[in-house]
Amino acid sequence: MPFGLCNAPATFQRCMTSIFPDLIEDTVERCEETNLVLNWEKCHFMVREGIVLGHKISEKGIEVDQAKIEVMSQLAPPKTVKDVRSFLGHAGFYRRFIKDFSKIARPLTRILCKETEFLFDE
C-alpha cells in the first residue's frame, strides 16, 4: 500500500467493489425473494459517510456521532444510582474515543458499590 494505513479503507473498498460488483443488486433481489422488507429511508448506498451502529463512518475512519453527544450533553444530572449507571452506560459506549475513560469514570463507578452512600450535590 503506497501511503500506509491512511489509504487502507479506500484500497479495501476498491478491492471489495472489484470482487463483488453486483453485491448490492444481489442483496436487494434476495431480500425481495425472501419477502424481507427493507426500510428504504434507512438504506444508504454509495455514500461517503454514514451512521452505523451509533458511530459515524467516513473517509477519516470511525468517529463519534455528534447527535448522540448532543443528547448526552442534555441529560439531567443523576439523582439516583440508577441514573449514574445509565449515564456510565451511555458514556461507556464511546469509551474508545475518551482518553483515560476508566480514570475519569472511576468516581462515578465507585458510587455503584453497594456499601457506598449516594451523595450527589452541586
pLDDT, tens digit, for every residue of 16-69? 788 877 888 888 899 899 999 988 888 887 788 988 888 898 888 889 999 988
For the chain, counts of helices (H) and of strands (E): 5, 3
* Alpha-carbon span 43 to 40, nearest angstrom: 5
Contacts of 50 by beta carbon, 8 Å cutoff, 6+ apart:
44, 56, 57, 58
Output the pLDDT for position 22: 85
SS3 62: strand
Q: How wide is the angle at C-alpha 76 spanned by C-alphas 71 and 82, nearest 5°?
A: 100
Overall pTM > 0.75: no
Question: What was the pLDDT predicted at 2?
Answer: 55
